[in-house]
Structure 1
Amino acid sequence: MTNNTGRKRDVAESFSGATDGYLEGNVLKQGADLEQLIDWCSDATCALDVATGAGHVAGSLADAGVSRVVASDLSPAMVQTATTEYCGLEGVAVDAERLPFPADQFDAVSCRFAAHHFPDPEAFLAEVERVLEPGGVFAFEDLCVPADPDLAAYVNRIERLRDSSHVETYSRAQWLDWLEATGLTVDTVYETSRELEVDAWLDRMAVPERDRQRIRSLLSDAPADLAEAFEFTYEGDGDRLASYRTGIVLLHATV
């Protein structure tokens, strides 16, 4: 495993100051994608939610009848938010790439909208495979970029400006390659999109005005192929981007 202690400390500090935005953001606390992840894990008795954030997945798992749900996150403030807002959760501040649990501990592991912050995604997947019992379910969701490397690089440049803890968003094909190499069997793949209102998306991480302007400029100058793929929608005057549809991939895998 790579040593990214400084980067991970920055991630934890960044998200400690963003708990309210993540708790209240509609993109995170509801949607058919969230319902799909919960459905995949609904038969579990002992589940782990990795990088739980404000606890939307973990809380929904508990509400669905999973008897033991562990909400884990690198940020202690996020863990505190999750366990305060949702009853019955066990909370623990841990590194997703070094899970402090025995092998075969869980029959479901979930991770939603978080892996683009992980410095070593392969280490994360290896840990998921280790802590899942045979036959256990891995329910995964994250942002996804187009297969074209130039478009992918452009998206990641914007994401890093918005959030310094952003490492990289990957393509669907990259995640499938890593899962296969890890030994997890992918049973279902959904690639979809979700609308993001640009101002709300920037507000959630309290982006400084200078960086907001740079992001707005990059969005205005985005390649036509990206504007088409992400379905850019403009305000009435046609000059200011109001929203776009970000790529998302959902994966159901088993050990």
Structure 2
Amino acid sequence: MNVAFDHLVHLTERPEQAKTAFEQWGFTAIHGGRHPSWGTYNALCYFEHLRYIEWIGIADRQTARTCGNPLIAQLVADRQEGNGFSQFAFRTNNIEAVAAHLKRNGFTPIGPLPGSRERDDGKRLTWSMLFIEDDTDGAFRYPFFIQWGDGDDVRMNELAPLMRHPIGSVSLSSISIYTLGLQRAVNGYRRLFDLPKPDVGRDEAGAYAKLAVGGIAIRFYEADRRHPSTRPFSCRIVGVQEQRSIEIDGATYIVSRP
């Protein structure tokens, strides 16, 4: 399956405050826009290869609860646990082919579902989203897939200024995720993406299994049973000389050297 990592979703009460914090640390970040049919709004930080962080907030709870989009339903559920990373997406230029791949590998796709918002300059952005029907019994969560209305070449040209940061030439390189069944999660992702066996290691968060897909590394960890979670809990941004750990609204951003 030909996909590239697209974005990591960070649920927060105030996306504009996360944006301001990132700007203070030397990143370029922007206000995104509102999604009236979902009851949400966002702010964004772009990196090399069109990867980005989306800080998303719920502005209209009733609309968010009833809109029927699986991502927004996940955000509403996660909100009960608190702010932090929630989901992430892989980009494709053929979402119907991804849906067919999912079916061949034993998954049940949901969608494609349409999405859109209007930029400050008046341009309407459009996209399609594809989800996977949950068969994990709550042990882990799958990503979703997105196809943008504009091609990568058009988006690269438009977004190039936003991928330049005062702090340096930075890139989003990895995501760390909690699971309630490490081996099940690894096997599920291997089946989803047709991946080889994972690498294993240990870091400050504990033992992990690592898979590489779509240009990014995903590290899977067993969650603490006292505080069960299946959410991403940290990401790594590389390309700066001074390493630091940034905590924002329940999520950890590890900024490090290349």
Shared fold by TM > 0.5? no
TM-score for the superposition, normalised by structure 1: 0.30
Which of the two has greater strand per residue?
2
TM-score for the superposition, normalised by structure 2: 0.30
